[in-house]
Amino acid sequence: MKKAIFLCFLMLTGCGYTTRGFVYKEKTIYIKPVVNKVNITSEKRAYSSYNTYPILIEKRLTNSLVNKFNIDGNLKVVNTKEGSLSLQCEIRNYDKEALRYADNDSVTEQRLRLYVHCDLYDENGMLLKSKDVVGDTAYFLSGRLAKTESSAQTDVINDTARRIVEAVVEEW
């Protein structure tokens, strides 16, 4: 009998798990357009025929962040800073690296990484959180699992946006 009462108690109260890791007094978030701070004229990029750079990646990341926050639903995205959290992000670097080579030394698999620094401010302009986030994706250049570089760029942008949303909503 005691076991049955205890089991009913556990079922009624639940385990206490929630997907919300951090609760803010503000229920809205303003996403400032992402700023691109990648130095495309650096020596590493200037003398490398392997590094590329996607055009308008900051605009694509901003749009992906808005979409991910809307899907998440914990914070409502608004167009003004007043009375809401403010998220500011800077793209610090974008890298492409070879992971696998074929016998003839041609690249068969690559990885893209997007390095972003994020600052979250409250409605009064006080810094709540500051974090570096790295999104990545790997893709094959040939074979049945092959992807184009532009679709891999979309994947790395979506992965980075997902990680930023998780970092804001979850406890850092």
Predicted confidence (pLDDT) per residue in 57-98, tens digit: 999 999 999 999 999 888 999 998 888 999 999 999 988 888
Is the pLDDT confidence value at 8 over 60?
Answer: no
CA–CA dist 90, 36 (Å, integer): 6
What CATH number belongs to 19-91+114-134+158-169?
3.30.160
Domain-by-domain residue ranges, the chain? 19-91+114-134+158-169
Residue 26 is predicted with a pLDDT of 85
pLDDT band at 51 (very low <50, low <70, confident <90, very high): low
Residues 89 and 118: beta-carbon distance below 8 Å: yes
Q: Which of 70, 45, 32, 55 is nearest to 153 (CA)?
A: 55
Is the pLDDT confidence value at 11 over 60?
Answer: no
What does DSSP say about strands 127-140 and 107-121: parallel, antiparallel, or unpaired?
antiparallel
Between the ranges 32-46, 48-62, 96-110, where is the mean pLDDT highest?
A: 96-110
Is the pLDDT confidence value at 135 over 90?
Answer: yes
Is the pLDDT confidence value at 50 over 60?
Answer: no
Least-confidence region, from 60-64, 91-95, 105-109, 146-150? 105-109
> What is the DSSP secondary-structure string of 110-161?
EEEEEEEEEEEE-TTS-EEEEEEEEEEEEEESSSTTB--HHHHHHHHHHHHH
Give the mean pLDDT of 43-67: 78
Instruction: Give whole-number Cα distances, 58 to 21, 68, 104, 135, in Å.
Output: 27, 15, 36, 14
Residue 87 is predicted with a pLDDT of 94
Is the pLDDT confidence value at 100 over 60?
Answer: yes
